[in-house]
Structure 1
Amino acid sequence: MHEDGGRHGRGQYTLADTEHGTVWGTCTAVDGLFEEPWHETYELVDWEPQGAEVRGWISRRVWLVPEDEALGPWLLEDVESLGRHSGSLVLTGSDDYEGPPESYDGLVRAHDEQRWLGSCRAVVRVLPPERTVPRLVLRELTPSNELRAVLAKGTRRALNLEEVALKIRDRQGAPLTERLLWASVGGWRRSRDGRDVIDLELEGTLFAPVPDHARPVWERWLAGAPGTEGAWADLDTRRRGVWLALVRERSGRRARADRPAGHAYVLDGRHATDEPGLYLALGEAVNGPGGYFGGGLDALDDCLRGRFGYTAPATLLWRDAATAREHLSDRLTPEGRPFDLFAEVLDVLARGGMNVTLA
């Protein structure tokens, strides 16, 4: 069996078929859930910084804007600088097929939605080494009768489980999120203490592991939902983004009733110093600790239409609004044009029937 150096995720896990809902088994620990994700590497040739040199982790989003406006900007996510090499800046990031082509010869400028980082005369995708097939080991899994039949048959076809969902609950049993993969059984063994449980190894594709930097945030959520607002306030922007993603994924698995029209909400704006912080504070203002109410302008607009705890019209007292105004007014669109996120959020709220008072 493949061992994973103790990379355990403690929670409650159910492995299920996505097409028919067949449950294959349940367990409380998984190896391989936390790994560094697959990132592309790009070389920005003849890099000319605009201001301070970029080092280490840069931003949740970096836009590469080619001089040819007909091409449109290219997006890299969770971007890290590997430094300068022979005049080039080397970046890693996830492009989700929205990034630049394998090579582009032409002037390109780069920004992180807050400032221009610099420019280069060409962008080249660095061909990566061959990918290793990700593996998950479900520890002390209680197999269903359906999984027992698959293991007893043991043929390659039978062991191909096709698309499955690893459904994740916190230790209190509340739904949190799920991870999808196209899986086959790579191996299994019975528990050493004789109980009717097994360690099940899955070989999968299309699986997105949780990045190592996200692990502390996940462990806080796996222990249970926060009981007080602002539990995310001590996190940096990168980990606030992780927190926001979990809040969004969790919200889709929880039933809620919209409050009646006329409700008065209060937003604690002290920690709205970045985009994730703004939406986390807004989510908690509407839906309490760990609450969700949008993670972007389009998502916010959707939430204002109902089914997310809100019914128009209503009022919102935004305390310490100057914090968000200071940090979020001077932004850049993907194309690099000036953009006031704070004003846009106020506009979306107003159009959604939220009467906002800034304090």
Structure 2
Amino acid sequence: MSHGPTFAWRLVDDDDDSVIAEGPTADGLFADPPPPVRVHEAEEAVPMRLLGGVPGAALLKGMERDDDFEVRGWLELFDRTGRPMRSTLTNWYVTSWEPSSHGHGLVNLTVDCDEDDRPPLAARRVYDLWADGPPRDKNLWTELGADGRREWLRLALDNHTGRAQGAPAGGTYHLDGRDVTDETDFSCALGEAVNGPGAKAPFTLVWHDAHVARRCLGQSPLVRARPTFEELVDLLVEQGVEVVLA
């Protein structure tokens, strides 16, 4: 039974960038990180299976030997338009393979990794919203929880193109601050305000409902990783942005 959009994948060799395999869908793309101490000794991470893959040369050689072989690579995911949407930072390695019901000569791969960087289960909704490319509607990220917002920001950073080519520097952008309560919210809202992270300073940023972030983030610097409201404003000013608090 389908649980939302499926995402094509490509496993790329970390050494020479050759394609290990690529296919139309996968199971186990989303998984929460395991607890530091597992409750049960038998508890294992959710496996990831890459389905319907067209095997590349290196994988074919390993399959022909039919013994233990190690093929490592990084994983790319694609939206329904064929546009790359996310790449993993972790090397995944093939632990087993089997013929696939998706077609003759295709394989299903079970893969594992040393440090799992899959999106958390809460991010499933994010990928539903991005399935046809970067969303066009505003403030969709505000319906997400903390894990979802962090993954939204990662996709936004991975997929931004900045302003249209030839567009002049400068201009005025309006940041909707009604839901900005922490640094992740601020980054999501800022990226949306300037049509994707990476717009060049200088420009003017009108921060609407700035009192929400001022109240939630505080004003006096504290010994902590989380920036204060004043520190966020100072960072923008240092980058040549004129900030108007509204």
Indicate the TM-score class for this superposition, using the shorter chain for normalisation: 0.7 to 0.9
Which of 7, 14, 25 matches 1:11?
A: 7
Q: Could you say which residue in structure 2 is the equivalent of 1:227?
A: 136
Q: Could you say which residue in structure 2 is the equivalent of 1:270?
A: 178
Which of 183, 193, 199 matches 1:285?
A: 193
2:51 is the counterpart of 1:139: yes
Count of equivalent residues? 245
Flag structure 1 segments of 5+ consecutive residues without an equivalent: 42-125, 293-307
Structure 1 residue identity aligned to 2:168: P
SS where residue 284 of structure 1 aligns?
Answer: helix
Alignment of 1:176-187 (within 5 A): 176-187=85-96
Flag structure 2 segments of 5+ consecutive residues without an equivalent: none
Q: Is the 8 A contact 1:268 1:285 kept in 2?
A: yes
Distance 1:9 1:206, change over 3 A: farther
Shift of 1:342: 1.5
Instruction: Give me the identity figure in percent.
Output: 29
2:65 is the counterpart of 1:153: yes
Greater Rg by CA: 1
RMSD: 3.1
SS where residue 283 of structure 1 aligns?
Answer: helix
Distance 2:86 2:59 in 1: 23
Distance 1:331 1:241 in 2: 25
Distance 2:166 2:180 in 1: 25
Q: Could you say which residue in structure 1 is the equivalent of 2:234?
A: 347
Alignment of 1:74-223 (within 5 A): 129=41, 132=44, 135-156=47-68, 159-162=69-72, 164-192=73-101, 194-223=103-132
Distance 2:188 2:93 in 1: 38
SS where residue 62 of structure 2 aligns?
Answer: helix
Cα offsets for 1:326-349 (capped at 9, x unmatched): 22225774459xx87221111111
Report the more deviating stretch, 269-278 or 126-135. 126-135
Q: Is the 8 A contact 1:214 1:242 kept in 2?
A: yes
Normalised TM-score (structure 2): 0.83
Which of 203, 207, 211 matches 1:314?
A: 203
Distance 2:203 2:53 in 1: 48
SS where residue 30 of structure 1 aligns?
Answer: strand
Q: Is the 8 A contact 2:214 2:229 kept in 1?
A: yes
Distance 1:350 1:207, change over 3 A: same
Q: Could you say which residue in structure 1 is the equivalent of 2:149?
A: 240
Q: Could you say which residue in structure 1 is the equivalent of 2:216?
A: 327
SS where residue 29 of structure 2 aligns?
Answer: coil
Distance 1:34 1:261, change over 3 A: closer
SS where residue 271 of structure 1 aligns?
Answer: coil
- The structure that is strand-richer by fraction is 1
Distance 2:166 2:40 in 1: 48
2:24 is the counterpart of 1:21: no
Q: Is the 8 A contact 1:134 1:204 kept in 2?
A: no
Distance 1:331 1:175 in 2: 41
Distance 1:173 1:160 in 2: 28
Q: Is the 8 A contact 1:266 1:316 kept in 2?
A: yes
Normalised TM-score (structure 1): 0.59
Distance 1:247 1:315 in 2: 21
Q: Is the 8 A contact 2:53 2:107 kept in 1?
A: yes
Shift of 1:138: 0.8
